[in-house]
Structure 1
């Protein structure tokens, strides 16, 4: 007797765990974003070795369109190579993004873990400080501080670092409060382990997932903030090429030299988009329950 084939009643797109695992491994947006971020980091590290001087001027070739006489992305109003300036701008974006995000992460992690574990008056005081920080828009506060201190690379990193810690503090505080009632924490308290050791050896390793997710997404936010400050002329000095300053210069030539604004704008868009996609992947890695595709 011939066996009758049973119809496949499984929902489309969820036929087997192996198919889901294959789709997860072949996440094309994640692969593309990771590859693009790798190119940005590689350009930031090795760019000066392979491109021309971003400050070299040639007024005879000013506003040359892309592909003209060895200038792959054209030249600007002073005859400077746009590709070389994009590569130089990537160094600023990577440096500011990573450094300021890590600085925010350190500040926010300390405040969040201490607030969640200690509780009581310390918790209330730190959370009121967080509320005060939230009352001021980050970019507006950065503009005020930089306007008072003056623009500069270190100033931008410090200002963006000390104004972006709130999200770390709030999320990690909630995680620590839930961990505080776990058996391993209570056992350490009963054994007389000091509070600072509990926070370092038991709390911090268990909040690495949320911390890594926020850190990844914060890099994109910082890069956008630095570009906005440079666009307004209050970020990195004009002598250092940045994507924000290139956008500010290019807006004056949108009708005659579109590439001056389109090239840095596209680089900024793709970089931040790739970072956000990578941040979603980090979140899915540390919390598989959020994976819905």
Structure 2
């Protein structure tokens, strides 16, 4: 008697045990990564350009404060002024380049300052627990009760606008997201075997937090840090737009937008170019932040 032939149920190149997949045999997670490559590469290239302009751009352009009233409000493409001039005859391209330096400096420095403060508070609250956790979390709740931009406006209005003041204020007011996320991560880590082993061996608490906790929360920390840079750049632009950020003598994208809004009907380039630079920079940072999150959290691709 011939044995009945059973259907072949083994996964093929077109369909796996988990369900239908791409025809080339790649998994859905790999396919999703491939789809993310194009915007990620474009974002990385644009951010590299912004950083490069921030570093060496002032060596390539004219003095952004040089005025030529005879060529005021010259349109883009004017001889010697690729992106035109503003209401005082200053070169728009030169001011954009200087503005990129301010945005990169403020964004990175303030985000790092927030990261240091928030990491210390979050890791300490999550590991120590008890009254330390309650005290630090109540401090976090108090910080959340104040709108960041409103608090920054109040402090800068009292102290006075300056580059250092903007960095410190935005850095001190932006630590809450770090603290809350890292606290939750540390709460799940402090019951792990390697932490309990270190405690049994008598390792001091501060060494456990630095040597064991901090390296295990670098993923969320890097993600928040990347996204925070874009948030800080927007906040700095908003403060400069309102006249309470960087002093008016220094070209920033926010102050260029504030000047350009008065000439939207006659000189559209005064607001469009800095607005586009701000939009593309923050968008590229957000895309990079998503890539960092996906890199440190593979579960993102399982859905």
| RMSD of aligned residue pairs (Cα, Å) | 1.7
| Cα distance in 1 between the residues matched to 2:267 and 2:297 | 46
The change in CA–CA distance for 1:72 and 1:11 in structure 2 (over 3 A counts) is: farther
1:288 shift after superposition: 1.3
Partner of residue 127 from structure 2, selected from 112, 117, 139: 117
Partner of residue 200 from structure 1, selected from 195, 198, 210: 210
Structure 1: gaps spanning 5 or more residues? 1-5
3-state SS of paired residue (1:17): coil
* 1:16 aligns to 2:25 (yes or no): yes
Pairs within 5 Å for 1:1-293: 8-9=14-15, 11=20, 13=22, 15-17=24-26, 21=30, 24=33, 27-291=37-301
User: Which string of whole-angstrom CA distances, capped at 9 and with x for unpartnered residues, describes residues 140-166 of structure 1?
Assistant: 000000011000000000000000000
TM-score normalised by structure 1 residue count: 0.95
| Cα distance in 2 between the residues matched to 1:97 and 1:39 | 16
TM-score normalised by structure 2 residue count: 0.92
3-state SS of paired residue (1:235): coil
| Cα distance in 2 between the residues matched to 1:79 and 1:183 | 67
| Cα distance in 1 between the residues matched to 2:300 and 2:288 | 14
Cα pair 1:14 1:20 within 8 Å, conserved: no
Quote the residue 2:6 is aligned against. none
The change in CA–CA distance for 1:14 and 1:152 in structure 2 (over 3 A counts) is: farther
Cα pair 2:14 2:22 within 8 Å, conserved: no
Larger radius of gyration: 2
1:14 shift after superposition: 7.2
Number of residue pairs matched by the alignment: 288
Structure 2: gaps spanning 5 or more residues? 1-11
3-state SS of paired residue (2:154): helix
User: Which string of whole-angstrom CA distances, capped at 9 and with x for unpartnered residues, describes residues 164-207 of structure 1?
Assistant: 00000000000000000000000000010000000000000000
Cα pair 2:122 2:180 within 8 Å, conserved: yes
| Cα distance in 1 between the residues matched to 2:248 and 2:224 | 31
Moved more, 174-183 or 68-77: 68-77
